Homo-oligomer: A and B are copies of this chain.
Amino acid sequence: MTDQSPSKTAVGRLPRQPATRPGSPDGSPDAPSRTGVSRRRLLGTAGATGLVLGAAGGAAGYAAAPAGAAPLTSLGADRAMFHGKHQPGITDALQAHGHLVAFDLAAGAGRTEAAALLRRWSATAARLMAGEPSPHDDTGVAQDAGPSSLTVTFGFGHGFFDRTGLQKQRPSALDPLPAFSSDRLDKARSGGDLWVQIGADDALVAFHALRAIQKDAGGAARLRWQMNGFNRSPGATARPLTTRNLMGQVDGTRNPKPSDDDFDQRVFVLDHGEPAWMAGGSYVVVRRIRMLLDDWEKLARAQQESVIGRHKSDGAPLSGGAETTPMDLEKTGADGSYVVPVNAHARITRPDQNGGAAMLRRPFSFHDGYGADGAPDAGLLFVCWQADPLRGFVPVQRKLDRGDALSPFIRHEASGLFAAPGGAAKGEYVGQRLLES
């Protein structure tokens, strides 16, 4: 009747090494897409060789495989690595379920308590991502399931450095974002001393991790805000590279690819004047972007495509070609006007229109039911990663703020900016190089 017996465990059969060096030729780092190429290849291989998942043995873990049973796919067994040069959840494939949660340090909690908290959180994240129960009073909600590509990612907000007396270690990149004229931000759902991103391909695995992280916070930090999101399920679509958002639009076409020569320098902090503790880290901008779907869906498809600048069917630019064909910004139609309108969202956000800045968008959709007016409370939990927010998110958002055709159909309702330190080495916890500096 004991559970968690090692003899019954069966996870980690198909470990997915995180992108310790995105773009490495071994194919292991997945592009942040629902059906990343390397993930698909992995599963294809498993199927072709008849590898039976869920058999006894394997790494120490949590998932109890009843005798003779085998999981349907490797979904449950898919595992991301906690330790590494970068934190997980940045270059890993988009998961089907996400939780974003922010905490504020509790009154009286300072550097010591923060260090202990990050130590607890890191231990929990490492165990859960390996498919093991949480260190204390595990709720059992994830029991039977494998890690299901769980990732847990930690970030520090501006106030964290005041609370911990570490102001001198605060990067200037954490200075508050400029105000944008179209912002309608709810302070209660914005900011926070600490931010945690949880992603997994199983809803109960994700919820289990959220509860464990919250329990670990104990008296050291109190929950500030929390949001739930989702992406397409693995296997629901054959589309190889990009996902769709709740407007029905292909999303993520212009994301930098780990195979790009400059991927690391765009996404991760290398050195150039940053505090040493941020080496291998990244800055994340989080925006809750409500979609005004009742208005959007009144537009005819051709109107929607003009707003975006891409075809809805396959994400190809209105100037022609396929999804990944470069957009011809100069192409004009029979009437002499640009085929891709000057205020089209995809024109404004093109990296080569923004000083080459690029951010790695890794969003979740959200749907929190309906408002009192009958309109859906739905949209995008925009999450983007970059080496420098002032060269990534800010200039693009500033241009969007001035003349994006999409603006009437969206509303930025919450905002956060966090510094996610580099990944923890084995025996280390996330943020240790800051908190024990």
Chain A contact residues, CB within 8 Å of chain B: 1-4, 10, 35, 39-40, 43-44, 47-48, 50, 54, 63-66, 69-76, 96-97, 137, 139-141, 143-146, 148, 201-205, 207, 211, 215, 222-223, 226-228, 230-240, 244, 246-249, 293, 297, 301, 311-314, 316, 365, 367-370, 374, 376, 378
Contact = CB atoms under 8 A, between A and B. Distances in A.
Contact of A237 (B71, B211, B223): B71
Contacts of A365: 203-204, 207
Nearest to A46: B47
Given A44-B72, A146-B236, 13 more contacts: A1-B313, A3-B312, A35-B72, A64-B239, A64-B313, A66-B239, A66-B240, A76-B233, A143-B312, A145-B236, A204-B230, A207-B367, A228-B367
A96 B10 CA distance: 22
A365 B211 CA distance: 15
25 contacts: A3-B313, A64-B313, A64-B314, A65-B238, A69-B239, A71-B235, A72-B235, A96-B96, A96-B233, A139-B248, A140-B244, A140-B312, A141-B246, A144-B238, A144-B239, A204-B231, A204-B232, A204-B365, A222-B374, A223-B370, A226-B370, A228-B367, A228-B368, A233-B233, A368-B368
Contacts of A137: 297
A247 B247 CA distance: 35
A105 to B, nearest CB: 15
B248 A141 contact: yes
A85 to B, nearest CB: 28
Contact of A205 (B211, B236, B367): B236
A211 B72 contact: no
Contacts of A140: 244, 248-249, 301, 312-313
B370 A238 contact: no
B69 A215 contact: no
Contacts of A228: 367-369
B314 A233 contact: no
Which of A72, A247, A368 neighbours the largest number of chain B CB atoms within 10 Å of its CB? A72
A71 B236 CA distance: 7
Contacts of A71: 235-238
A232 B202 contact: yes
Contacts of A235: 71-76, 234-235
A204 B69 CA distance: 30
Contact of A248 (B39, B143, B230, B249): B143
B236 A139 contact: no
A1 B311 contact: yes
B233 A202 contact: yes
A435 to B, nearest CB: 25
A203 B226 contact: no
Nearest to A249: B140
Contact of A297 (B139, B230, B249): B139
A250 to B, nearest CB: 8
Which of A48, A227, A248, A301 neighbours the largest number of chain B CB atoms within 10 Å of its CB? A248
Nearest to A101: B370
Given A233-B233, A244-B140, A203 B96 contact: yes
Contact of A238 (B66, B202, B293): B66
A57 to B, nearest CB: 14
A129 to B, nearest CB: 15
A328 B368 CA distance: 43
A314 B140 CA distance: 10
Contact of A244 (B204, B232, B249): B204
A72 B69 contact: no
Nearest to A53: B238
B66 A233 contact: no
A236 B73 CA distance: 8
Contacts of A70: 44, 238
